[in-house]
Structure 1
Amino acid sequence: MYSITDVEQAINYWRARQASTDDFSICPRGRVLADVYGSMIFYRQEAVEPRTLTAEQNEALSLALAQRELPL
């Protein structure tokens, strides 16, 4: 299960590491996670199961969460 905090932290991770395509949008990996985050807020979900996400969303989440735990 991914908590809403996990999704938010993953979005922030990608925003800090990937450039957006212009000054008004979010980076590609952040964008796929923003869809998950927005849906969680709308439906008042505190967590989401990985099996309900696309492969791209799962990859963006798992990579970001794994990377944040590595020492700098």
Structure 2
Amino acid sequence: MTDLQGLFIPLLFILSLVVWYRLFREKQLKPYPPGPTPRPIIGNALDIPLKKAWKKYVEWTKQFNSTLSSIF
């Protein structure tokens, strides 16, 4: 019984995070231009090219039919 209780709280927490993410993520307004889909917590950090970045940015411009912009 104690082992099941030890698993119940973490599973309930993870399930709550998944439900919260799915409900509120879809309702957010999208003020930014189109681009690659961000990942939870780290966003697009893994999508940023380290070499010849301009080639990837040109590819994204064509893929997402958008001009390249930067928001600071």
Give the number of the structure with larger relative contact order, counting CA–CA contacts within 8 Å between residues 6 or more apart: 1
Larger radius of gyration: 2
TM-score (norm 2): 0.25
TM-score (norm 1): 0.25
Structure with greater proportional helix content: 1
Structure with greater proportional strand content: 1
